[in-house]
Structure 1
Amino acid sequence: MGLVGTIVTLPFAPVRGIGWVLDKVRQTAEEEYYDPAPIQEELVNLERARSEGHIDEEEATRREDELLRRLQEISAYRAQQGAGPGP
């Protein structure tokens, strides 16, 4: 883009900048949402709470099923994105 093109499109620079920022925010949010580490940590904490008797077996099983479904969702998303399975 030459000097004339730069001058003509200059009024749109803030819009492009906002678009770039919104894209970065979206990417960061997706990375956090699809990060398996917090889910894995919660599974460990759930097992600890179960073994220490802080929650009953029925509640632990229900919560474990939810967490495992979430991990499957993350794996499917990462496979779709080409990132492969998580760490």
Structure 2
Amino acid sequence: MGLLKEVVLLPFAPVRGSAWVIGQLLTEAERIYYDPAAVRAELARLEEQLEAGEIDEEEFDRREDELLDRLETGLRNSAATGNGTAR
């Protein structure tokens, strides 16, 4: 049955391969987006922008909340998967 299934589904191999690649890209993009080290670096840059007067307190607070949410999600995901990327 397995061989017959593969022969029947052979025309769909490019679609299945494309779906796998898209899934891998999405996984890597999420890993980078929620990486605690990257989020901490963005928080540091945000604070530098505030100190330099490039952004006001309201903008700082808004963006800081977004980054802290990302950091929390990244740390939660790291703890759940046990991959040890949290520092």
Q: Give the TM-score range, shorter chain.
A: 0.5 to 0.7
Q: What are the Cα deviations for residues 30-87 of structure 1, in whole angstroms up to 9, with x where unaligned?
A: 4323322221111111101101111111110111111011000000111110124613
2:55 maps to which residue?
55
For structure 1, which runs of at least 5 residues remain unmatched after alignment?
Answer: 1-13
State the Cα RMSD in Å. 2.9
The structure 1 segments of at least 4 consecutive aligned residues displaced by more than 6 Å after TM superposition are 17-20
> Of the two structures, which has the highest relative contact order with CA contacts closer than 8 Å and spacing of 6 or more?
2
Q: Does 1:75 align with 2:62?
A: no
1:10 maps to which residue?
none
Q: Percent identity?
A: 46
Alignment: residue pair count: 84
For structure 2, which runs of at least 5 residues remain unmatched after alignment?
Answer: 1-13
TM-score by length of 2: 0.63
